[in-house]
Structure 1
Amino acid sequence: MNAPRIALVTGANQGLGRALVEGLAARLGPADLVLLTGRDGRRVADAAAQVAHAPGTRSRVAGRVLDVTDADAVAALVDELRERHGGVDIVISNAVARLVPDRPQSEQADQFIDVANGGTHAVLRSFAPALRPGGRLIVVASTLGTLGHLDPRLRARFDGASLEQVEYAVESWRGAIHNGTAAQAGWARWLNVPSKVAQVAAVRAVAAERRAGDLADGTLIAAVCPGMVDTATSRPWFDDYSQAQSPAEAARAVLDLVLTEGVDPALYGELVRFGKVLPWHDGTPPTEQDQQLIP
């Protein structure tokens, strides 16, 4: 008899994260447990209760407060899951801080970097060793996460980098924002560009160290691009949502990757969009015209 599976989603109170929890709860079994996590205790409890009692929910659902910017809290939760369950089977790192267009991005940088990048690093560092054989650790990124979106002067900082080197590069970027040298150094004004490249670079760094063992036991570590999703986070930035997916639609392709039996070695450690790899070196830096549209 197989042990119950333990799944966890960060940034899961609403939007894509909530849809990922709903999809897992519908597709996993009655003995399995899905943990819906976020920073606000009341919102976490309300969202978890709603999912738990929704039509179509099959698995157990519970809410847990988790601030991914607190690496000690992430590590403590992992220790608890190891003690109670022997590890974890599915982890989807989805937490992101919302950017708004009516404030300069430089003023929003710290919180955004702390959540999207610091949170990703904490999840990778603590949860990867706790994955049980056949586990899945997925980081939600975007098409902006390929290396070619960076200025050529910056690419060597992330290409083939270790997790520690990625962290150092991210902090160098943060420092350049604060001291006013980011544009001169080639960092894109749009925070999403360096942040997403760094997220994928972090995934690649951890995956490179674990590849042989993970492929041997059917474990997958990867980044995913869910495509354009109509959420409160993305809506302020786009005028035309006619081609956008609902969170539930976007979650479907991510969960197909998570729940497919076996691991395609070609997908391991890569950025995946609708089941296809987005090559690491593809992409072009945003143009000056593009950047002029960003506050």
Structure 2
Amino acid sequence: MTTSRIALVTGANQGLGRALVDGLAARMGPDDLVLLTGRSPERVLDAAREVAQLPDTRSRVEGRVLDVADPEAIAHFADELRARHGGVDIVISNAVARLLPEDSQSARADEVIDVSNTATHAILRSFGPILRPAGRLLVVASSLGTLGHLDPRLHHLFDGANLEQVEYAVESWRSAIHHKTAEEAGWPRWLNVPSKVAQVAAVRAVAAERREHDLATGTLIASVCPGMVDTATSRPWFSDFSGAQSPAKAARAVLDLVFADGVDPALYGELVRFGKAVPWHDGTPLTEQDAMITP
């Protein structure tokens, strides 16, 4: 067991996840450990080796294979970190299924839900209990994750819900997609809207239960919106990238939240965008075109 800081990033082979690992490795100390995770053993190994060789890297960096679509793998990894290190200090849940505009939304629904939502639930359940005092657990979402972007008929499924109720809502959505009743029930055709709302709702649910204790120990649980980022995943969705950030620039705002002194109660449990909380009830139901261009 060690008292060195332990950081973990999912979906870290490339794009924003890789930039987050680069930044963590540069800001943490020689005795600290950054765990770069992804599904492909070869890509994970190559990425970890590259980060370790960067001139700004100060901490230790290890690549670990983790399929976030497998809740049992997440639970096992958390158990391992508890046994070996006594807990974890920084967890950034960043993995996302790459979805193209021309893809069938219904055909890709299970993959998107498993990687974005089932994984978020498992990470909150498995890593929340081993998060050490002054720790950070952040889920990368987007500004689509506010309740107002859903049809009002669906608001009761997420507003004030606990984690089990969020999970039930997500599985109800999944079932409606498979039974071709989703649009009739008010679910938008584009998966990224309910997926992001559910991610933010899950974070809010866990944070509501932990708020008093976490604020007393300087611990932060929140969802984050990095804004528009120029990556292979996001580029197919936008015609104008003039306002897009590089992954490195987008990572800086997230990392500033990670390394901030203390915790601002106004940000705890919220969706944070560039250091400010995005109101949970903001937004209006989106058209298909809106859903394609909102970062």
TM-score, scaled to structure 1: 0.97
The aligned counterpart of 1:200 is 200
Q: Structure 1 residues 288, 5: closer, same or farther in 2, change over 3 A?
A: closer
Q: Deviation of residue 49 (structure 1)?
A: 0.4
Q: What secondary structure does 2:106 align onto?
A: helix
Within 5 A, what are the aligned runs for 1:237-276? 237-276=237-276
Count of residue pairs the alignment pairs up: 292
Counterpart of 1:41? 41
Q: C-alpha displacement at 1:291, in angstroms? A: 6.8
Q: Residue in 1 aligned with 2:27? A: 27
Q: Which amino acid aligns with 2:135?
A: G
The residue that corresponds to 2:89 in the other structure is 89
Q: Distance between the aligned counterparts of 1:220 and 1:232, measured in 2? A: 30
Deviation of 1:111 (Å): 0.3
Deviations 1:88-133 (A, max 9, x none): 0000000110101222211111101100001111100000000000
Seen in structure 2, the aligned counterparts of structure 1 residues 83 and 177 have a Cα distance that, compared at 3 Å, is same
Report how far residue 3 of structure 1 moved: 2.6
Cα distance in 1 for residues equivalent to 2:292 and 2:85: 50
Runs of at least 5 residues in structure 2 that lack an aligned partner in the other structure: none
In structure 2, what is the Cα distance between the partners aligned to 1:121 and 1:163? 7
What does 1:32-181 align with in structure 2 at a 5 Å threshold?
A: 32-181=32-181
Any unmatched runs of 5+ in structure 1? none
Shift in alpha-carbon separation, 1:133–1:107, aligned structure 2, 3 A: same
Name the stretch that deviates more: 270-279 or 94-103.
94-103
**CA separation of 1:85 and 1:288: change in aligned 2, threshold 3 A:** closer
Residues in 1 aligned to 2:153 and 2:292: alpha-carbon distance in whole angstroms: 21
| Aligned residue in 2 for 1:235 | 235
Give secondary structure in 2 for the equivalent of 1:233: coil
Give the whole-Å Cα distance in 2 for the aligned partners of 1:104 and 1:87: 40
Matched residue, 1:221: 221
Q: Deviations over 1:115-158 (max 9, x none)?
A: 00011111000000000000000000000000000000000100
Identity %: 77
**Are 1:188 and 1:291, in contact at CA under 8 Å, matched by a contact in 2?**
no
SS of 1:22 mapped into structure 2: helix
The TM-score with structure 2 as length reference comes to 0.97
